[in-house]
Amino acid sequence: MKVEFEKMEGLGNDFIVLDDRDGQISANYIGGYAKLAIKLCSRNFGIGGDGIIILLNSSKEDIGFRIFNCDGSEAQMCGNGMRCFAKYLFENRIIIKKRFTVETRAGSVIPEIITEDSGKVKSVCVDMGEPILNPVKIPFICKETHNNNQAVNVPLDVNGEILNITAVSMGNPHAVIFVDDLNTTKVELYGKAIENHPSFPQKTNVEFIQIIDRLQMNMLVWERGAGETLACGTGACAAMVAASLNGKAARKVKLHLKGGTLDIEWRESDNHVYKTGPANSVFKGIIEI
């Protein structure tokens, strides 16, 4: 079976976008989307990517979105992937509105297209919704909570070492850690251990944050199911919320990742987090699956 695809990236977080609104891929590919993600995301034997994004019909919203990591696990949402998805929809004229609704496993998400004078997509602002701070809903098994049952700066035993984390969900779980120097931070060692920590029953993404000032932060990320990546949109949102809760940052910041910079705002007016950043097409093609 031959399928068309588009390889896209948001701050170096790269995805393979597939249109399965007619259901042909799910009906004909043995093993389903999970095995397809492992096959296509291989950087040696496939297209290569951090995950695949599936475009689907939706009875609830304008369009449906599913995302599978390179190890075959399904994520509820992905901020960088959502910007790529929105650009794909708009530039392929699947959706011609600049603001629309997307059904995800994390609920409804609303991207807004920002265009250049030529009509090309310049950036995408995504309404990521309200952060989830209740440990039960993240989920995070936590004995010690603060600030109205929030897991803010709580100790976590990581292989015998105590690290203070702030747990936030943006539709998927995140553990945010503030460090003095990212250059000396053992991202793989800590990231892998915390991702699989028994306190996170659904595993977790892990963000390491170095504060520059109240308006800027640097971030390294270990993504659940993908390892260290150049960027994570939901992670950037979770990091900004965690920084604000810990009194380290304002509610609107520039967050610098290896792949580039995102503008993150946690608005008091609706308690929603808004993420603005770029998305780019890398190449298009047809592959036999």
Give catalytic residues, as residue numbers. Answer: 78, 232
149 vs 100, 175, 200, 205, 218, CA distance in Å? Answer: 33, 16, 17, 21, 27
Cα 57 to Cα 72: distance, rounded to the nearest angstrom: 22
Q: Tell me the pairing of strands 252-257 and 227-229.
A: unpaired
Contact 175, 181 (CB under 8 A): no
In DSSP terms, 164 is beta-bridged to 155
Is the Cβ–Cβ distance between 228 and 221 less than 8 Å?
Answer: yes
Q: Which of 21, 52, 15, 13 is nearest to 289 (CA)?
A: 52
Which two three-digit tokens encode residue 82?
Answer: 């959502």
d(CA 217, CA 176) in angstroms, rounded, equals 13
Give the up-direction half-sphere exposure of residue 144: CA atoms within 13 A in the CB hemisphere: 9
Task: Tell whether omega for the bond before 139 is within 30 degrees of 0, i.e. cis.
Answer: yes
Nearest to 128 by CA among 279, 268, 273, 287: 273
